[in-house]
Structure formats: structure tokens, C-alpha cells
Structure 1
Amino acid sequence: MVPRTGRRTAPRVPMALLRDRGMQALLAVALLGVAWYAWPLAGLPVLIAGYWPIQVALDVVLAAGSWRVWRHPAASATTRRFWRAMTIAAALFTVGDLVQAVQSARDLTVSGLVSGNVHLVFIVAGVSVPLWAMLTHPIRATGRQRLVFWLDAATVMTAAAGFIWSFMLSAVVGAALSLVLLNGVLAALMLILFFGITKLILGGEAPFRPVAAGIALVGVALTALGVGVDGLAASANPAVFMLSSFVPCVIMAACPRAQAVEMGLAATAPQRSRRRPFSLLPYAAALATYAAGLLSLAQDGLSVRSWGLVLGSLLVTLVVLGRQITSFVDNAVLLRRLGEQESRFRSLIEHSSDLTVITDRQGRMTFTSPAVTRMLGYAPEELLGSGLRDLLHPEDVPAAAAGGSWQGRVRHKDGSWRWLDVVATDRHDDPSVRGLISNARDITDARAFQEQLHFEATHDALTGLANRTLFHRRIADAAGVADAGALTGVLAVDLDDFKIINDTLGHHVGDRVLVTTAERLHGCVRAGSDTVARLGGDEFAVILTGTTPAEAAATARRIVATLTEPVTVEGHVLVVRASVGVATGPGGRARTLLRAADAAMYEAKRSGKGTMAVAGS
């Protein structure tokens, strides 16, 4: 089973907020404030006298909370930038409300609740600072994701425009020009503010956590409703006006506190949370628009028939939204599973000891797994678009071209050759591959070990010459030559009086003499075409391919002369002579030539040591 390491921590956030003392204090203030304004026990002058000081206190809480998030050690650069702007905005709100509190203290009437010019300047300036941070926030989306962002943003902005018209602008139609202009400016600011928040939430890398973002949205929405109440309820019902301003301020003051709690929770128990590939914000905006429309219709009145149509439209929309969200959730689950499978496949590929290469029909590499770095020294991107054939040893190109399973040498980045065992599968017809898949493993060490075993099985351990087994194999190969005109020479070489060296000076000295003899024999024949073998003890043999009787005899004389030269071993100057028998004839008679050369060698020994004899002469 796959461990559930990516569980979301969101269920823990509400409990953490409820346990936080700051949030508890703000909740208590909100409850007391709602009770104070909804069921006032004091007279109107007392309510008005406390209204602006309470606003100032909430501004200070907002500024302190924003400053705390701004300076939080776990905050990213984007988060710091936004909350720095919020700190400045809260400071401007504090100054503006403080000025208004001083001015209103001299007039404890309903007119004292209306903002003065200085207060409006500070409020507008305060709103502009975070608004600029929102508008300049980059959109982390490309292609169709960018299109989806703009469609979702358009949905939210349309709903926001409907709210602003219904609760702010429609009420001042036909009013004084100054009031219309004021509300128009505030409406434009609110609309821009909604766009900025929407951009932060939907654009990627939002500077606030999910719960804090939700609190901010509620606060901004209620602020917009409160602005709509301004001027209408201030004189008719001052308590409602003060309540409509108090509640959004408490909610906005709670926003940075929630952000700090969420960031602290993530820092103490970091867990990677998966982000939904879709947002519910546009659908919430659509439902909120329906709710506002129903409220307005209920106030203005509708016929029974119209109510049926409106409610039916709402239910149909709810069903459609539910079906679409269900599809989104299903798609999100499929995307998550696909992502998990892709991550598992990528992990298998990245940590596999085998190399996987995909080549197109022209032999160009379109994919190489990370194992190519360990195996051949190349970075995967270095080989993309280059031809696989360019890396192959020329002798192994035909084997690779044949496809299927093959073994060959591939050039390492350092210039050396590595032996690879390759299994190729043709997947050109597979749309997800469209190429030839080659899975390869490095067999250089295994190949070297096999070659070492083969060498040891066919060569003398002391001298490195071919042993009796390989010598007879070469004799058999020569006997199988179809060209009857090709001559082969066989030389039988035997050291004279070698037993005396072993008996008097020891076998280790005798071994050194045998090694020197092997080196000198190699120097007397043609490299690559002739074979020198040690048949056992002090017996040696030579096969000369493509030779003549004269060349074979000349080689035998070189051997006799070379071996006569003294050998110095551990201070002992030794003269080693050899008797050589020579036989030359067609390659098909190689076995007969060996017997003839051996007989000629004994004839040389009888005629005098350190001499040669030619068979048949």
C-alpha cells in the first residue's frame, strides 16, 4: 500500500484557531460588539462616542497582526510583500479613524458617524496600498490554465458588480450628485479590490492561507454591504449603521491572526498539501448572487408564478453546479492518481540501474533515462536529438541495426568503450511512445571477467602463451582452411638441458627462464598472424600461417640464435639452447605437419643441441 504522506492539514486549522488566545479574544469582542449595537442599553450619544475609538482599536489589532505575518520567519517573499502593504494600510486606517474620532467627539450626533474629508483621504490611501500589491501580483498560469483563470475571475467580478450595484449604487440613483460620485468612487475601489483578492486566490502563490483567504473575502464582502448602508441607515437606524461597520472590521482584524496561526501550524507540522486543480470561488459567487437576488425579489415582491420560475431556475442551477463540481472532484481524483503513477514511474526510471533510451525512426534519441549519467557519463539532455549510432563502436553497428537483443560497445563520455546488453522493442505505433525502446544494462565488468576466464582457459598461466588446448584448436582451424595452396609452417621447440637448471638452481629460476624464452619466441614471429604456444614443461610450438618453407626455416634459425643468448637470473648467467623442428605444407595437413615437426625436432637433438632440422630434408 502507498503511505498516505500527503494528507491535508486543513481539518486541524479550525481547532487551532479556536484554541488561539488572539482569535478567542476577537471572537469575544465580536459577540460583545454585536450585542452592544443590536440591543443597546445606553443612549445614542454613548454609542456614537464609543464608535470611532472601537474602530481605532480594531485598526491597531489589524496593523499588529499584519506586521507579525510580515516578519514571520516562515513567510515567503510573496507573503512578506503583501502583508507589508497590509501593515502600511492598517497604519493609515488607524490615523484616519483617529482623526475622525477626535472630530466626532465634538459632535455626538448622527452626523458624527459620517466620514469627513480627511478621514476619507486616509481610508482611500490605505486601501490603495494593498490594492497595488494585489494588482501587481503575478499570475502563475499559462496556456489553458490562464484562460480558466480569466473565466473564473470574470465570474467572481460579475457577481461582485451585481452586489455593488444592488447594495451601493442603486440606492443613490437620483440622489445628490456629490453622493452619487462618492458612492461611485467607492464602488470602483470595491470592484478593483475584489479583483485584486480574486487574482491573489486564483492566480497562484497566494500570500495567505486558505482559512485566512476565506476570512478576508467575508470581511471585504461585508465591508461592501456596510458601505451600502452608509448614508441610508446612519440617520434612520444609527445602531444598524455602526453594526454594519463594526462586524467587517473585526473580521478583517482576525484575518492576519488566522494567517499567523496557519503559518505556525505549517511550520511545526509541515506536510505537503495537494492543491485542488479547480476553485469553488466562482460557484460560491454565483450562489451568492442568487441569494442576493432572492432577497431583493422578496422585498420588492413577485407573483406566485414568478416565484416558481425563480426557485426552479435556482434549483436547476444548483443541480448543474453540483454535477459540475462532482465532475471536477472526479477529475481531481483521476489527476492525483495519474500524478502518483507518473511520480512512481519517474522514481522507478530515475533510480533504475538499467538505461532506457527511446529513438525515433531516424535513430535520434528522444528520451534517455538518468541512468545514462552513471553508465556513460552524459547528462540526459546532452543526448536528446543526437544519433544513437554515433555512440556505437563501428563493428557493433550491424548488430544494433538488426534490432531485438544485441550486445555491443558504446562510447563513454571519457572516450572509453562500455559493453552493453540491449533489448530493443519497437513501439513506433504506440502514440505515447512513437519510437524504439532500448533497455540496456552495463556488462563491461562481466564481459571482462568472461574474457579473463576464457584467456585463462586457453593460455599458459606462467608465460601467457597459448596452451595446448588453444594450440590444437589453431591446428584444427588451419586444417579446415579450404585454400589448398595456402602453406602452414609448424615449429616444435624444446629447450636443451633445462632439467639441469631446475635441479641445481630451483624451479623459481627455471620459471624465469621459461618466461624469458616465451618473450623471445614472441619476438621471432609475426604478431597477430602467428601462434606461439607452451605445450608443457620446456616444450614450445609455433604455428606460422601463410608462410613458405624458406620463411619457416628462417624463423627457426632466428629462434635458435635468439635463445642462445645468455639469460641472467638472480646473478646467474645462463645459456639456454633449443632444438627446433620445422615442417611446412598445405594447411589441410596441419596435424600431419605437427607430427613431422616433432620428429624433426628430435632429429635436431640427435645431431647436436642448439640446432634446427627441417622435416623431409
Structure 2
Amino acid sequence: MQNATVMAGGHIRFPLGTITLLTAIYAAGYLAWERSAWGSVEIRDLIGNLAFMPLNLAVLTLNALASRLSVLDPGVRRALRLLAAGAAAVFTGNAISVLYLVAWQQNPPVSWADLFYLSDSLLLVAALLCFPLARRTRLEFRKFGLDAAMVLAGGGTAIWFFSVRPLVASGESNLVVTLLAFAYPLASMVVLLGITTVLLRRPTDGNRLAFGLLVGGVLTSIIADLTFNWVLVETGGRSASWIDAVYLLCYVMLIASGEWYWRRPVPHVARPTLRRPRIQPLSPLPYLAVASTYVLLLSTALQPWIDPVSGLAIGALLVTALLVARQLLAVRENVRLLTETAARQNERRFRSLVQHSSDVIVVIRPSGEMRFVSPSATRVLGYDPAELVGRPISAVLHQDDAERSATFFAEAMRAPGVTGPTELRFRQPDGSWLHAEILATNLLGDST
């Protein structure tokens, strides 16, 4: 491990990862205490709430400090501020829980703390959508809203069917606990939809390790929240020691993310606006929500068979399945048309650029065959471009340059960007040789 270094002014700068390591040690100590079963139930509940508050403050502080770094992308800085606000909301919720324990000696299954815990999910989704993505348009946000509505409707139906309906039927739980058991998994589903949307749209920010740790921490928190909800429904209480271990793992990852953003930020690089249409992949979650709802409907309608409801349910399922299949085919066709349109636009732009260029521009296939030759070849080389298209470029090169040209083009195909310059000899129609300096640009990654 690196030694701590002393900065100008006497401030000590600890090695990168120190805060994360201390957090992991703190988490291990807490779990060891929890397994020791030391203290009364009241003391254990109090320590259980107090123990997470320093972690909330660590996430808040690290993200707030990182959000002040001007080298980061403005979208990343907004996201970090929202993450800090979410950590503040969780800290407030934990403080309210401690107040219940200290002032009123209560650990209720439902309290005002839940309002702050749930608000953290909304802030988290907003933070995820602030990260710079490959493309962000008003239409994309509308699509996200519709996807979120479908996931909420489908997920809410499943939660009602498996959790809320049995609770209401049994009469063993009050309405507020039932609503809370409904709210937490819904919030987790919205966060999961936000993560899926961001990953499918490929964040363009260079802080990949920090972002990966953030996503890992959020996914871990979703697992912990859903498990917490199950325990709340089954026992009516909040305590479950092994759930704390999952939450602690979540905090280790979130603190590591904040520390990386703060201590090793990747500077923002201005990227040119892409003119070519970018095809955005579809999120699978809305379709899974629709499928799960129909599975529940079909399983209920067929056991037992209820005429005519069961028949109508089967018909609705078939019509919806065909509609989804038709939509997927339409999307596939639209993707093909967009790709062809982009290719034609790029080809027209390319031809307009090279038509009057004084340099000879040649597009070569990986096999060495000339695919396009600019009109300036007539003036410079003495050939009509149509004579050269379809022939290997080696056919007009000096045989003594064959090995050097093969090495040059092989290097150009391996390395993206510009390769060269190098000098090669080209045979002209009258048998003379033209010494020319050439550059190669690798466009193999360009599908158009």
C-alpha cells in the first residue's frame, strides 16, 4: 500500500481507497458485534440505527465534494448532488428512527422515517438520468416515462396479487403496513428501470470504475430493500441481521464510488454532436411487466375455468402477444430504414467532400480491392476512376514496394485513426512511376 503523502500547506492526502477500506473494517466490526448478541433488544435496535448514520454522512460528504470538481461533466456533477441529497434523506430517516427509540422507546413498522427512505429512491432515479448518455432527447424522456408507467403497473399488479391481497384477506395487518409493503418494491422497480435505461443508453462519461461501483451499490440496495420488505410483511418488524450485511455491502460500494469520483476524477471531454441517428436498444423491463401480468391473469382465469372470463383472458393474451410481435417487427424495419438513410446521407456527404479535392482519395476494402476512387485520379495518376474500381491497389504499385505497402495497410487496419504518412510508387498509364506520399484512415468500424 502507498504511504500517505503530505501536500502543500501541511494537509495529509491519504492513499486512494483509504476511506473505502476503513468503511469495510467498520462494517466487519458491526457484523461481528451483531453476531455477538450483546445488549438488550432496545439497545440493539438503537445501535442498529445509529451504526448506519456515519455511512450516510460518508456517502453525502464524498458525493458533495466530488460534485464541486469543475473537471467533471456537468451532468455527472448534477447526479452527484442528487446522490448527496438522497444520502441526506436516508440520514434524516435514520435520525427519526433513533428519535422514536430514544424519546418514545418504540420501533414501529411504519413511521415518518419511511417518507425520507422512499424519497431517496426518487432522488436516485433522477441522479441516474443526469449522467451523460449517448443520446438524450425529449422523446427519450417520454419513452422512459411510458416504460416506468408499464413497469409500475405490471409490478404493482404482481405485488398486489402476492403480498397485498393475502394480507388484506387475512386481516392480520393494518392498512398502513400494507401500503408500505406495496411502496418499497414499487420504488425499487423504478430504480431498476432507471439503471436499465442508463446502461442500455451507454453512459459516455469516462469515470467507468466509479460509475460501475455506483451501479453495483444501487443494485445491492435493491436486493436489500426487497428482502427488507419481505421481512416486514412476514414479521411486522424491521430487524433482520443478515439484511444488514447486504446493506453494508451496498454502502461499501457507494462510498468507494464517491471516493473514486472525488479522488480520481476523469476530466470532462467535449464530444462532437453525432449527426448520424443512433438506434437506442429497447429496455426489456416493460415487456416483462406485461408478460408477468398476463401470466397472473391466465393462471387465475384457468383455475378453475370460468365461462366466459377464461376464454376472454386467453383471447386477450393471444392478441397482446401478436401485437408485441408486430411492434418488434416494425421496430426492426425502422432500424433498417434508419441505417440505410444514414448510409445514403453519409455517402452523399463523402462524395461532396472528395469530388473537387486536389488529392486522390481511395476507399479500399480489407481485401485490398479499391471500392471508390476520387475524380482527381485522372489528373494525378492519369487513370479514369472507373478503370481502378474493383482492382487491387497492389496492381498499380511498384513491385519493390509490395512488402512495405502490405505492412503499411496491415498496420492501418489494426489501429483506428490515421496511419502514416509513407511514400509509395504508383505506375502511370504511360509506364512511368509517380512517387506519392499517402495517409491511411481506418474506417472499418464505420458501418456506412
Q: TM-score, normalised by structure 2?
A: 0.49
More strand by proportion, 1 or 2? 1
- Larger RCO (CA under 8 A, 6+ residues apart): 2
Structure exhibiting the larger radius of gyration computed from Cα positions: 1
